[in-house]
Amino acid sequence: MFGFLVSKCASNLNHGDNLSIRVRRRLLVCEKLPQRPRSSELGWQRSAARARGPPLRRLAATAGTPSHCKRVAVLVSGTGRSLENLLQQVKSGALERTQIVVVVASRTDCLAVERAAQWQVPTAVVVARAYADSDAFSDAISVVLDSYQVDLVVMAGFMHFYRIPTRYLNRVLNIHPALVPAFCGRGFYGDRVHQAVLDFGAKITGVTVHFADNEYDHGPIVLQRAVPVLDDDTVATLGARVFAEECRLLPEAIDLFCRDALVLDGRRVRIRHRQPV
């Protein structure tokens, strides 16, 4: 499996590019390096040969997934608070049909990587800045997702555009800290959303979980929950209440997907039955 991922990552490079591959404990880091002289064009092969740590086939651990569980990947870029919440929900049994099989981070220095390590969840870091464009970056992510045979991809604080291939359409969930289609789109993330809500004078904001497509905050809405805006709210106080609702709504949406309870009808998502987490 390790050789498979190395070769697939290399296939995304242009001629003359080099690939740095490092395996540290349960962390696989895959990134392109600056172009080197022609005599080193095969440097990525030497890097692969020198990579230390367990082979990727041990990280994937596909045999350990119960038959009733969906295999879930979580994409992260920041502190990993949402990831921590999901892992706790899985451990408690609230997400009994969910197994988080890999965390994919866009930075090596994000706290989410450390959280995943504490929970002993396999982690792959696909360094966003190492790729020339979002297509190449997205292809590298898809290689990791394919290698773990995931059923569902969850964007939890993922700060980059992931161009979703056809095989993953309607299998990627995103969470947004507002009521889509308000206060959403490119550039609206994190505290920027809450500041925009306050600046506009909105009385209600909330949380949206939706299927991601290849536009920002655009795909079919799965669940929404309103959060009132108080007269004395600041970005920090409003953000805290919105995040508390995120911690309830995202697991609920994941559970519905893993129970095959979501039915798409155009842009409408119908729920066969509800069992709140």
Residue that has been written with the tokens 């360094």 in this structure? 127
- Consecutive H or E run containing 11: helix 2-11
For the packed helices 81-92 and 111-118, what is the interaxial angle rounded to 10 degrees? 20
Q: What is the DSSP letter of 50?
A: H
CB 5 within 8 A of CB 143: yes
Active site residue 176: yes
* Cα–Cα distance list, 11 to 7, 139, 212 (Å): 6, 10, 26
CA distance 77 to 108: 9
56 burial level (CB within 10 Å; 0-12, 13-18, 19+): buried
Q: Which residues lie closer than 8 Å to 150 by C-beta, 6 or more apart?
A: 71, 72, 73, 101, 102
**DSSP-derived 3-state class of residue 126:** strand
Cα first-last separation, the chain: 35
CA distance 17 to 41: 7
Catalytic residue among 15, 68, 160, 176: 176
Cα-flanking dihedrals φ and ψ of residue 151, to 5°? -95, -30
Which residues carry out catalysis? 176
